[in-house]
A and B are shown apart, each in its own frame.
Chain A
Amino acid sequence: MTVLLSVQGVTKRFGGLQALTQVTFDLPEGQILGLIGPNGAGKTTLFNAINGIYPPEEGRIIFREKDVTTAKTYHHARMGMARTHQIVQPLNELTVRENVMVGACFGRENQGLGRAADIAAEVMEFVGLAVKAEQLAGNLNVAQKKRLEMARALASRPYLLLLDEVLAGLNSSEIGNMVEIIKKIRERGITIIMIEHVMKAIMNVSDRIIVLDYGLQIAEGTPQEISNNEKVIEAYLGDPKLAERLLQED
């Protein structure tokens, strides 16, 4: 089992705020890693550190056996790391097709326009945006914009895909569709780290889960282990016995 990404003692501060403290894990190729934690736990900050948006103050990030700790985010893209944004970032005045082509043109495979158009067509079909291809991205609804984020990331043919709350703001049938897409992406051999608040979905698709709270890794394990971990329940509910007491009161 090859390690695709290795995060070693990553620490990030914003002024006096300790956003990440000594976060360490190895991600083997082909796995789905779930990243959960209360709001403000540092999940998106960890993505930004892995993706080269803010280099960490301490620690190292090794991607495909290369140290990418201080590399720029566009170098990460070229090396095969793609991401989606929690707050969608469509290129509003470009069409859906052009948005997806940007991913194919400037991502890992660095394709020319002609080949990029073919890849875009295939990826739009895959995420169910093919009928919207000629619309301006700014005119899509939220669920479609989330798919667009996904399509752009996939068009770059990444080795590692960082998914930041792709299910947030979707209704239950849209969540079902998106979970199916995520499973199919894994079948293509793409390694995924996903941040998610929709517990049922993340417990269902993840091979392994890491829990962050105030920038600390408070737990790590299979979805089964995590759902029974007292620290995790405390982080979410404030009191480990609260859930039990709530149940007894009924």
Chain B
Amino acid sequence: MKKWRTYLGLLLPLLVVAGIVLWPVVTKNVSSRESAFTILKAVALASSLNILLGYTGYVSFGHIVFYGFGGYVGLYFVNEQGWSIWAGILAGGIASGLLAFLLGKAILRLRGAYFALATIGINEAMKAFINNFDLFGGPIGMTLNFSVYKAYGGAAKALGMSFYIMAGLTFAALIISHFVRTSKFGLGLQAIRENEDAAEVMGVVAPDAKTWAYVLSAIIPGMVGVLFFFKNGNVEPAVAFPLNSSIELLVMVMLGGQGTVLGPILGAFAYQGMRGYLVTSNFFKNIQLSVSGVLLLLIVLFIPAGAVGWLRQRIPALRRVLA
């Protein structure tokens, strides 16, 4: 009985994501597959960021660095060393996890605004480094040899396959998010979020717990980066480390509800939907990012717990379902 209840919170997130995955499968429409890919990518990245932001309470403004760095490393192995996409994705995830581990040891001792500032600095420093790193093509970046797609039955098939890999990565992000939230490790993270000093007094080894949370939140973005650049066929520094995407991820997590499994999924879905409308509207297309800014401001002022958090506070009966 108890076991069954633990998994209840996972039900709704899985259904929502399954719906997004099935949408293009049912319509057999390439453009809806592209939209679904973008939404799934946002869901996977936002859910990963949520492990650090929502569960642990550390605001990372530069989380996209893991997406860019992992993506670069993976694409390098796929393109230059002839590795398969699977090995490349694995390499990207490991590279980002390792980067997070090393960075975590250095900057997770900072708290609040200082940590947030350090994460921006890291993203910009990494962009500058890659810009000057010849192995990864410097400022020009890397372009995938089209022969790479041959192994997967040509470009069209490779793109189709990428969609299903993206779906797999998104499910993986959800399951990680759920298990972190319902585990003892996650309880320790939430204790750190609420009061790090008190958590340490109770025996939570905060430096280690925070580092592992950072690593866990970095792995899936690294893998998504590899997949996205593989699908796009190229990568360059400005595309790999966009600071505004980092901030959009924050908006998604805050909008849906930080610290819940479902929140970042709904937030990513709603935000991508809104973004799709804004960039095609004549009036908003140039000021699309300022709309995100205003949205973030409104969330922080009026519903700091996000949509899911707001519902949980109002209707306690929903707490088991809206985990």
Interface residue ranges, A against B (CB under 8 Å): 51, 53, 72-74, 77-78, 82-83, 85, 89-94, 98, 101-103, 105-108, 110, 112-114, 116, 134, 152, 156
Contacts and interface: CB of A to CB of B under 8 A. Distances in A.
Contact of B200 (A73, A112, A116, A134): A73
Contact of B202 (A53, A106, A114): A106
A74 B187 contact: no
Interface residues of B, number: 22
A217 to B, nearest CB: 25
A170 B206 CA distance: 32
Given A89-B197, A91-B195, A105-B184, A98 B190 contact: yes
A83 B187 CA distance: 19
Contacts of A93: 190, 193-194, 259
A98 B194 CA distance: 12
A106 B203 contact: yes
A105 B191 CA distance: 11
B188 A89 contact: no
Q: Classify the interface of chain B: helix, strand, loop or mixed.
A: helix
Given A91-B194, A113-B184, 20 more contacts: A53-B201, A72-B205, A74-B200, A74-B204, A78-B203, A82-B202, A85-B198, A93-B190, A93-B259, A94-B190, A98-B190, A101-B187, A102-B202, A106-B202, A106-B205, A107-B202, A113-B187, A114-B2, A152-B202, A156-B203
Interface string B169-201: 000000000000001100110110111011111
A77 B203 contact: yes
B191 A83 contact: no
Contacts of A91: 190-191, 194-195, 198-199
Contacts of A74: 200-201, 203-206
B198 A98 contact: no
Contacts of B198: 85, 89, 91
